[in-house]
Structure 1
């Protein structure tokens, strides 16, 4: 672990994504922004004229062009800002794009309400024509959303507030990524290093308990000192969610969120119910970990350290990429060739640098290759993160290459299937080739940690989100104290057997996903679906693989539950989650026998 974080210009170009594939610089992006303004005037000129099939088609085609350009500008601007959140030029460009998006929203807001005024049976009839074939699912969505679209003036008012409704998220991002400083502390080698988001998880994996404890306490000490500010930011984000849901005539913010994917509310509730019903499995795992670590009691900072210290080795980025590609061999030669081509040609931004956005993600815009942001820190977790984000990237790559623009974007609900399936295949590969019991125990524990953090932990997050939104909807005020109390009580239920502390009650304050309401449950449902699909590919081979690759290429041409049914998994029932938790229990049994 290096003691100092490098500046952006100190990172070798081969480890940076190639944003020049989008725009060579901000001046070139500005030209497209001006072109967008011109197209917006033309599009706005069609307001009040959507009276026939030809004009509607003209508007749809023009909107496609506008949306693609808008997405390209936004993708470029947010990637440049994510490279260094302290770069004022990048911040200015991103602000310009956000402002343009407000203008875009205002000038296009008439379109859906005006379509809503047209007899839906007539729109259905138009959609049967060959030149409307790319818009059939879109028109179907018009009918499904009709009761939740407001009048033209009301939609315009809401659009004008879009920048303000995004304020809680943007404020938290700047605070979390640019302003919060966590100080320095001693690492395993007694060297003073700066504590950052990227290093925190690595320190929690340290075999030195003092390093883990100090990193944990120091990080949460900083968040605790900002508890009132961050609480108000999150509370206002929750209020915004509830207000928008109410304005759009949904019964709750949760209902509004699942409606967007055409997912029944029971899917969300079934997840929480299944995990709660099987929570004894997590309690068994906690006790297993305590026994292996030979600790009188387990602390929260003891949950991430690998149980087999001899195998806690570091990986170069090149080693991680090769290991991932070997693990993904069951997905076929074409998948591997396409992915390797991307890794070698500017898809990935690898290492942490000063001001860089923490965590990892994949992004992309239609007509261009996808991108992956990492903060690679040489651990096995980083290898799996690469595989995870590669799953997103390849889903984007195949969807964009096989679907028209209108159907190319997939929902987060199915996106998490592609990413976690890659992780499942990789862990199966590593376990299958291992002949050493200690190595198997190490890998099994890593696998168990994936279950814990992706199914149990994300479900706990989902339950937290549900509770705090319900309280606002019931007229109950949220405070910093109540947020901490709710979060502490959930940890008390989920992590029975762990010695809880005041610090864990502040964990909600550092979770960026809470600013995308009801997002995290899709990690758990996606993981459950991925377990089923990966097991199918490994056990049944080519037929299951072809269905899965067809799923990756399907984008958003149908609703996520239907797309998964075509691939062979019915998430409308509790079965996939129950089966996933059963697999967790089986892995825990095997790990116990290896001791």
Structure 2
């Protein structure tokens, strides 16, 4: 049974009092920031009066953003730890409203800044040396000049920010708080209530009937609410397409990738490379079918570990394993990891109402917190090092960069996390000697690659297809979404959609479809990470130093430049082909072990 929040040991919860000591302190900060925003109007029309005015207004806008970000982080993490609590739903809503008010208040900034001439820009930088730190920030703004609207239009768009986010918010509340899953039988024959966390555990069961029961019960629930989920997703797609259109982008994808200065060819190269290598996935699934002794492999058979070795860990054991693996990155990196593990940066266990999944969060002025829903298995060990990778990236960036560059682009985010996963795989394969344990680790890697590179690219194809369909006037009904998703799933997995009817509803439960072209970066990130991990584990100290420099870079340079300096050119296809070469090499070893152990 999933515990209530109050039943969780305090040491296994994150310490949000390091952000605000009390809820009262948060409420006072909200009041103060609301009053501060009222002062912004005095700056309107004066941005380019002088170099000093540009500096003053820029610094004030960034300081307001910094403080509101901190306010938001507290509210959203309080809400995530139990999404049923009305108080923190209200906090979260107020924080979102304040963000919208911030955008409205400073809606004059970009239109006014776009009026700066080349000479005035050069003169300002010379007249006020403190503006130099913002040069890269200004340069990026100027590159988007054709997509900035008039001041009135910017104000109207900013004012609609909260409304634009309502589809995503509705999905989150429905999927985490309102939806009630049925009871199913676990491995011991006990009736357990399904939750997002329990479902993933049961999908890894060795008992096929347990997997089938959980799978069918989960998707029967999504089938029941498919029309509501279709409406929230359709609305979100319309929002992204509308925003792109009014800002003069060719498409929502063009707008999303341009925000990270990533050409659309990077996306298309990924899909093409993955489709070219789908035979490797089919080969792995055929092998999985043989090992399981199943002639009719179904989608609910894809997640269960193939190993007969119980390679599981308690949370405390996992912390030690993570520290051992990540020590290759040096003493400073390891000391940061130990701080995160010992100073309550992590909310460890599932509780009723808690947001599903895992993430790393926080702001420039907080710890780089992590949310987990811990289960004692190898997959969760990898989740731990994955989220730790994000948190260490945040730690290095925030410590090294000023606030204006103290975050990193989404495009770079997934590379740090999946590099850690690849390092862990390398380290585990180095230390194990017996074939059975090696089999378990290789199985985990192959499943992880399937889930991160193949599966997320399938998501990326689906996401782009629904945005294009809406742009072309198609109505995104549940029937349309079901058929599109089922067809794609059949192409990727090679498993008949007629034999796997439930999978057509999977799109309904994927929160990342509300993140606006986020998922493709899991795939590009994992591929780049496989190259970086090879260099870190088997390369020189210089390779490791270059990697730490990447963690420190934040937004001080364009993402593709940051990666080139780290040793990976993501505009070429080489890094993708290299990643598939690693997958094939490990698949070959896995096949040999299957033969040796007599498992097929």
Query: 2:201 maps to which residue?
Result: 202
Structure-2-length-normalised TM-score: 0.97
In 2, are the aligned partners of 1:286 and 1:498 still within 8 Å (CA)? Answer: no
Residue pairs, 1:11-410, within 5 angstroms: 11-50=8-47, 51-127=49-125, 129-309=128-308, 311-410=309-408
Give the secondary structure class of the aligned counterpart of 2:68: helix
CA distance in 2, matches of 1:494, 1:440: 27
CA distance in 2, matches of 1:360, 1:536: 27
Q: Give the C-alpha shift of residue 89 in structure 1.
A: 0.8
Query: 2:7 maps to which residue?
Result: 10
Give the secondary structure class of the aligned counterpart of 1:346: coil
How has the CA–CA distance of structure 1 residues 144 and 124 changed in structure 2, closer, same or farther, with 3 Å as cutoff? farther
Query: 2:430 maps to which residue?
Result: 432
Q: Deviations over 1:178-227 (max 9, x none)?
A: 01111211111111111100111111100010111000000000000000
Q: Deviations over 1:7-55 (max 9, x none)?
A: 1111111000000000122221121122212322222211011221111
Instruction: Note if 1:417 corresponds to 2:443.
Output: no
CA distance in 2, matches of 1:325, 1:127: 45
CA distance in 1, matches of 2:292, 2:535: 35
In 1, are the aligned partners of 2:426 and 2:537 still within 8 Å (CA)? Answer: no
CA distance in 1, matches of 2:476, 2:249: 22
Residue pairs, 1:442-481, within 5 angstroms: 442-481=440-479
CA distance in 1, matches of 2:124, 2:438: 59
Give the secondary structure class of the aligned counterpart of 2:192: strand
CA distance in 1, matches of 2:255, 2:153: 18
Give the secondary structure class of the aligned counterpart of 2:38: helix
Q: Give the C-alpha shift of residue 123 in structure 1.
A: 2.3
Query: 1:594 maps to which residue?
Result: 593
Give the secondary structure class of the aligned counterpart of 1:549: helix
Give the secondary structure class of the aligned counterpart of 2:102: helix
In 1, are the aligned partners of 2:50 and 2:124 still within 8 Å (CA)? Answer: no
CA distance in 2, matches of 1:125, 1:488: 58
Structure-1-length-normalised TM-score: 0.98
- Give unmatched runs, 5+ long, in structure 1: none
Q: Give the C-alpha shift of residue 314 in structure 1.
A: 3.3
Give the secondary structure class of the aligned counterpart of 2:355: coil
CA distance in 2, matches of 1:75, 1:217: 36
Q: Give the C-alpha shift of residue 456 in structure 1.
A: 0.3
Query: 1:533 maps to which residue?
Result: 532
Give the secondary structure class of the aligned counterpart of 1:314: coil
In 2, are the aligned partners of 1:26 and 1:93 still within 8 Å (CA)? Answer: no
In 2, are the aligned partners of 1:202 and 1:379 still within 8 Å (CA)? Answer: no
Give the secondary structure class of the aligned counterpart of 2:370: strand
Give the secondary structure class of the aligned counterpart of 1:262: coil
Query: 1:546 maps to which residue?
Result: 545
Give the secondary structure class of the aligned counterpart of 1:315: coil
How has the CA–CA distance of structure 1 residues 558 and 159 changed in structure 2, closer, same or farther, with 3 Å as cutoff? same
Q: Deviations over 1:385-436 (max 9, x none)?
A: 0100000000000000000000111011111000000000001111111111
CA distance in 2, matches of 1:102, 1:261: 22
Q: Deviations over 1:112-132 (max 9, x none)?
A: 111112224422443455301
How has the CA–CA distance of structure 1 residues 369 and 125 changed in structure 2, closer, same or farther, with 3 Å as cutoff? farther
CA distance in 1, matches of 2:214, 2:123: 62
CA distance in 2, matches of 1:298, 1:126: 66
How has the CA–CA distance of structure 1 residues 497 and 229 changed in structure 2, closer, same or farther, with 3 Å as cutoff? closer
Q: Give the C-alpha shift of residue 497 in structure 1.
A: 4.5
The answer to which of 75-84 and 114-123 deviates more is 114-123
In 2, are the aligned partners of 1:300 and 1:498 still within 8 Å (CA)? Answer: no
CA distance in 2, matches of 1:334, 1:264: 35
In 1, are the aligned partners of 2:311 and 2:440 still within 8 Å (CA)? Answer: no
Q: Give the C-alpha shift of residue 312 in structure 1.
A: 2.7
Give the secondary structure class of the aligned counterpart of 1:550: helix
CA distance in 1, matches of 2:389, 2:29: 30
In 2, are the aligned partners of 1:120 and 1:143 still within 8 Å (CA)? Answer: no
In 2, are the aligned partners of 1:298 and 1:498 still within 8 Å (CA)? Answer: no
In 2, are the aligned partners of 1:286 and 1:497 still within 8 Å (CA)? Answer: no
In 2, are the aligned partners of 1:14 and 1:346 still within 8 Å (CA)? Answer: yes
CA distance in 1, matches of 2:163, 2:125: 36
Give the secondary structure class of the aligned counterpart of 2:349: coil
Q: Deviations over 1:522-551 (max 9, x none)?
A: 000000110011101122131100000011
How has the CA–CA distance of structure 1 residues 121 and 197 changed in structure 2, closer, same or farther, with 3 Å as cutoff? farther
In 1, are the aligned partners of 2:326 and 2:423 still within 8 Å (CA)? Answer: yes
CA distance in 2, matches of 1:81, 1:135: 34
Give the secondary structure class of the aligned counterpart of 2:39: helix
CA distance in 2, matches of 1:121, 1:174: 51
CA distance in 1, matches of 2:460, 2:333: 33
Q: Deviations over 1:251-289 (max 9, x none)?
A: 011111110000011000000000111111111111111
Number of aligned residue pairs: give it.
591
CA distance in 2, matches of 1:110, 1:554: 29
In 1, are the aligned partners of 2:15 and 2:345 still within 8 Å (CA)? Answer: yes
CA distance in 1, matches of 2:83, 2:122: 46
How has the CA–CA distance of structure 1 residues 41 and 124 changed in structure 2, closer, same or farther, with 3 Å as cutoff? farther
CA distance in 2, matches of 1:125, 1:524: 44
Instruction: Note if 1:493 corresponds to 2:491.
Output: yes
In 1, are the aligned partners of 2:107 and 2:158 still within 8 Å (CA)? Answer: yes
CA distance in 2, matches of 1:389, 1:127: 39
- Give unmatched runs, 5+ long, in structure 2: 595-600
The answer to which of 536-545 and 382-391 deviates more is 536-545
CA distance in 1, matches of 2:491, 2:366: 46
Give the secondary structure class of the aligned counterpart of 1:45: helix
